[in-house]
Amino acid sequence: MPLTNKQKLAQYHAKFTKGNYFESQVLQHDRPVVSDPQYVAEHATHIYEHCLANQCVSYVDPDYMEKQGDINPQMRAILIDWLVEVHLRFKLLPETLYLTVNLIDRFLQIWQISRNKLQLVGVTCLLIACKYEEIYPPIVKDVVYITDNAYSEAEILQMEQAVLTTLEFEVHITSPFRFFERFCYLVKPTKSEELFAQFMMEGSLTQYSMIKYSPAVLAGSAIYFAGKMCRNKNLWTKQI
């Protein structure tokens, strides 16, 4: 006789509560914080594995600029450099910046855009990223203001519809910043090493040639290089 949903739930509950099952799944690095629910130490390994498996979902063709007739990597770099200033001015979260750049690249690999519309794509992707990541995202009028009224509210909303429709509303990504947080927790760099690594990782956003690297590789390389530059021989080991 098949088990009812209630019986299945009872079996599931018994499995994961008997013998401290969750604690047995905790890595040595996470055991010091196993009692802190904010670290969800019993799920940390599974979350990291999930991020590794899903980082390819936000894949961007590293050669997509060859299909663009009116823009080039230099224009992309200038746009992102300007967006970094806007990001700083609005005091946005780091995740918002990474998501913005990813949305721009994923959209541009599908749509051909003229150079006079490139800034419109940039601020629109920033607005979408803010709505996804921020608690209090800027309003459309704020976005119009930062472009010095180069575009109207109607144009921004129309572009927002185009971006979301093109990407089929797949806004979520596994950004390098998620791996950066995890790696920093594991290797415990000094504040100088952490800031230098974050500076390197954010600097890679403007470089079109860095698109071909996965988020995990970008985050790990930045931390490893920061350790090398600061002459920390024990920053990254085979156990990490």
Averaged pLDDT of the chain? 84
Cα–Cα distance between 58 and 78 in angstroms, integer? Answer: 22
Q: Quick one: CA dihedral 117, 118, 124, 127, positive or negative? A: negative
Burial 79-100 (b: 16+ CB within 10 A, else e): bbeebbebbeebebebbbbbbb
Interatomic CA distance for residues 211 and 231, integer angstroms: 28
Task: Output DSSP code: residue 150.
Answer: S
Per residue in 200-221, pLDDT tens? 999 999 999 999 999 999 999 9
Residue in the structure block whose two tokens are 């180069």 = 150
Q: Please state, in angstroms and as integers, the Cα–Cα distance from residue 155 to each residue in 113, 123, 170, 226, 235, following that order.
A: 14, 11, 22, 42, 48
Per mean pLDDT, which range of 37-41, 70-74, 138-142, 169-173 is the poorest? 37-41
Tokens 């099952």 sit on residue: 21
* Domains of the chain as residue ranges with CATH: 5-56 (no CATH), 61-166 (1.10.472.10), 176-229 (no CATH)
Which tens digits make up the pLDDT trace of 18-55?
444 444 455 666 666 666 676 666 777 777 777 888 88
- Count of CB atoms situated within 10 Å of the CB of 67: 12
Distance CA 127, CA 117 (A): 15
Yes or no: say if 96 and 133 are a contact pair by the CB < 8 Å rule.
yes
Instruction: Provide the pLDDT for residue 100.
Output: 97
**Rounded to an integer, what distance in angstroms lies between the CA atom of residue 195 and that of residue 107?**
30
Q: What is the structure's pLDDT at 239?
A: 52
* DSSP 8-state secondary structure symbol assigned to residue 33: G
pLDDT grade, residue 235 (50/70/90)?
low
Q: What is the pLDDT of residues 77-134, one digit of tens each?
A: 999 999 999 999 999 999 999 999 999 999 999 999 999 999 999 999 999 999 999 9
> For position 23, what pLDDT does the model report?
47
